[in-house]
Structure 1
Amino acid sequence: MQTLPTTLPDWLTLLESRHAEAHINMGLDRVRTVKLAMGLTFDCPVIMVAGTNGKGSTCSMLESILLRAGYKVGLYIKPHFLDFNERARIKGSLATDAELIGAFNDVEAARGDVPLTYFEFTTLAIMHLLAGAGLDVAILEVGLGGRLDAVNVIDADVAIVTSVDIDHTDFLGTTREEIGFEKAGIFRPGKAAICSDPVPPASLVAHAEAIGADLWLLGRDFNYSGDKQQWNFGGRSQRRNSLAYPSLRGANQLLNASAALAALEVLRLELPVGAQEIRTGLVTVELPGRFQVLPGRPTVILDVAHNPHAASALALNLGNMGFHPYTYAVFGVMQDKDIAGVVTPMAQYVDHWCIAELPSPRSAHTGDLAATIAGLTPDDGKPGERSITEFADPASAFANAMSRAGENDRIVVFGSFYTVAGVMAARKSSSH
């Protein structure tokens, strides 16, 4: 009999070692088997959120608003930056090590000889933890795709797809139509299926209609409008006027906020929420690493943009920020991403690239990144004012950018979660 770990880091190490060999095996049979063995069910409304970009923002806005309204809210969100506990939030606080260890023990006891990947195991554990926490509502973020994601063994009362773009092509397909079908896999017959993508793939709409889901489309069933000061939401039967802009910055946030408000309209009988709670919830919402502008000088922006859709949004936000003499980029990304598609929208804004290797076997090599960036750098007659420098890790790339940037310049840290997490960790250790 194997003795089980007694600390969270040891548990995570065990799960990683166990699944180093196990490739992502798409299919829900194993997860469903263990879910049934655990008797895992939710006795509160469940909101599930999938999408290429905007999932985390939408989940965080829902959590913030519902907490303001006095509800007991559980949130499963990923990945984490510094501590695994960030993935599980109960009533506004991170799950404790003890709570997570207890949930891991329960999954281990129930799974028998069923092999589970790291993601499947931890997803079951966190959903089990939330299901037993006496919640009024649970918000579950989908990891990859939707149809075959471990979260999808739960039937959501409201399912949201935020955006559909090209990412994870190895698993989800190479077109928006293929990927849209995968994401629509979280929809359920007779339940609300909300899509806040302004141009939803036909495959998503067709699947929702084929299974008899209650499809809410942006522009047909709900919409938003706004001026510089405030914005308005209109749903099927609810209007919300004179709303404050979300504290999460960026051009796409009203799409995400509108999806959140549509979900609250669907659940208005079970979870009534007032206008003031929506305003306050939107103003106070926080989400690390999504166009997060840190206090101080030079200006530092953290953004986990790692696909072309997210990089275009980041570039748009940089363009709206006002004048900075020079922009430094701390950038690292996985080799399976569309690197040229990520670099292209950013190239016009970045003067100095500090590119980093990441602590993952999937990391793109800095030599390859440098060649791609050099080929996409605009030829604007500023040769001496541009540079591309390679570093062994995000922390040293960031330290170099900080040493060179003037106080009126800006540093944008973007790409993989590993890039942003590496800089967050370096900043944390230097502040102690």
Structure 2
Amino acid sequence: MSRDLAAWLAHIERLHPSAIELGLERVRGVAQRLGVALPCVTITVGGTNGKGSTCAMLESILLEAGYRVGTYTSPHLVDFAERARVNGQPADPALLAEQFEAVEAARGEVTLTYFEFSTLAILRLFQHAGLDVAILEVGLGGRLDAVNIVDADCAIVTSIDIDHAEWLGDTREAIGFEKAHIFRPGRPAICSDPSPPRALVEHAEAIGADLWLFGRDFNHAGDRQQWSWAGRANRRNAMAYPALRGANQLLNASGVLAALESLRDRLPVSQQAVRQGFAVVELPGRFQVLPGQPSIVLDVAHNPHAVAHLAANLDNMGFFPYTWAVFGVMRDKDVDAMIAALKGRVDHWLLAALPGARAADPEWVAGRLREAGVAEGTAEASIGCFRSPSEALVAAQERAGPNDRIVVFGSFLTVADVLATRAAANRTSRHGKAQR
């Protein structure tokens, strides 16, 4: 009996005893039995933060240049099909279900994690989609991540900071070493982190990768109106800033342009396509400011490095009488460092429970806030606990003034719950109008 996509997702969640099991042996063996091989130009994107933005900008520019593009990113925010975009649109769930069926038939007795199983299904979908280029986001680390079974034509590492320390190590050098393993001998290896760990550089040099470093092989400059970029042989001048908000987006955009220069013989891209691609790029949940009052900012920042960028971006927004934070987080993150990055900028903390065993209990987070010296118990400062991010957001909207701002952050799940609730409300509203 064939399953629909929802049934397949429920099946693969139960298939493996752990959510994460790093290593390529199992997934590579199944890939070989499936005959997975992408016949197009491939670009892998790894790093601690900035992967999603980098993938979105690459996709947008290449679509504007007229290429047929497949983009694999994770996790999704609302629907699983967001993970596999073909020509900018989420994949057809029925086509995804067919690929899940093929993986199931090929795996035999091999148990695959949710991520491994879905990665193979999406790679096979892309294999048969007539693509010119595939953009593949690396899930976790690099060396042992399932996406690393692909020998990419170009690999980008966006930034390196400490996250997933229990899997990747607790130093930038250790993490940089893991991420450098998406590089390949003789092929472009882009690093847009301004201070790359020595381990990353040494590995790239040891394998003979064509290493492009920010500040050495490419750089950017700009003023309030426009910015410019210079690579090894190309310059791109007088560009409008990317539509994605945030001070760190120029570093991501610079890495994108370095990758495109390195592939220019196989994927030529005009200046107009670059301009238009940056102008129209969209990525939900990355410093996404919703219309209306009070201002609502959605950001999937879920580690200290990303929250520090969020803090800088909030500082650039101007004055707001009060800032309300809807904060849901995983307990295995460095929660104290995340709080430290924002505590001077938030007046009211609304702590939200998240699903899953890894989620931090809101009462525990409240204790971390108090330990950090966060004030509460007045009209100017408070700490509250809620059953979900959407419930916390409703409370913030009821209490906030029209000129205040609300920041929703801490996890993909935190932002996803808010976006899913808004999407459901919009569907109900449209249905009600149709009925009338």
TM-score (norm 2): 0.96
Name 2:434's counterpart in structure 1: none
Distance 1:377 1:430 in 2: 37
Distance 1:282 1:7 in 2: 36
Match of 1:158 among 143, 146, 154: 154
Name 2:433's counterpart in structure 1: none
Cα gap change, 1:377/1:282 in structure 2, threshold over 3 Å: closer, same or farther? Answer: farther
Note if 1:18 corresponds to 2:15: yes
Match of 1:91 among 74, 87, 93: 87
Note if 1:330 corresponds to 2:352: no
The CA deviation at 1:22 is: 3.0
Distance 1:398 1:289 in 2: 15
Distance 1:34 1:301 in 2: 42
1:154-200 Cα offsets, whole Å, 9 max, x none, are 00110000000000001000000000000001010001100000000
Contact 2:15 2:111 in 1 (8 A): no
Name 2:110's counterpart in structure 1: 114
1:391-425 Cα offsets, whole Å, 9 max, x none, are 11111111100111111111000011111111111
Contact 2:43 2:152 in 1 (8 A): yes
The CA deviation at 1:25 is: 2.0
Which amino acid letter does the alignment assign opposite residue 260 of structure 1? V
Higher mean alpha-carbon deviation, 184-193 vs 21-30, is at 21-30
Name 1:241's counterpart in structure 2: 237
Note if 1:340 corresponds to 2:368: no
Note if 1:305 corresponds to 2:301: yes
Distance 1:179 1:325 in 2: 40
Distance 1:334 1:92 in 2: 30
Name 1:277's counterpart in structure 2: 273
Note if 1:385 corresponds to 2:391: no
Which amino acid letter does the alignment assign opposite residue 194 of structure 2? P
The CA deviation at 1:114 is: 1.4
CA RMSD of aligned residues (A): 1.2
TM-score (norm 1): 0.97
Match of 1:295 among 272, 288, 291: 291
Name 2:421's counterpart in structure 1: 426
1:105-137 Cα offsets, whole Å, 9 max, x none, are 111111121111111000010011011111110
The CA deviation at 1:382 is: 9.7
Distance 2:423 2:371 in 1: 35
What are structure 2's unaligned runs of at least 5 residues? 429-436
Matches within 5 A, 1:343-354: 343-354=339-350
Distance 2:127 2:339 in 1: 41
Which amino acid letter does the alignment assign opposite residue 5 of structure 2? L
Percent pairwise identity:
60
Note if 1:9 corresponds to 2:6: yes
Name 1:149's counterpart in structure 2: 145
Which amino acid letter does the alignment assign opposite residue 7 of structure 1? D
Distance 2:29 2:15 in 1: 19
Name 1:75's counterpart in structure 2: 71
Contact 2:19 2:114 in 1 (8 A): no
Contact 1:348 1:377 in 2 (8 A): no
Match of 1:229 among 225, 229, 249: 225
Which amino acid letter does the alignment assign opposite residue 10 of structure 2? T
Which amino acid letter does the alignment assign opposite residue 274 of structure 1? S
The CA deviation at 1:383 is: 4.8
Distance 1:351 1:383 in 2: 10
The CA deviation at 1:384 is: 3.8
1:2-53 Cα offsets, whole Å, 9 max, x none, are x4x421111101111223x235222100011011111111111100000000
Any idea what SS the aligned residue of 1:385 has? coil
Distance 2:87 2:363 in 1: 45
Any idea what SS the aligned residue of 1:430 has? helix
Distance 1:35 1:191 in 2: 23
Distance 2:155 2:132 in 1: 17
Which amino acid letter does the alignment assign opposite residue 391 of structure 2? S
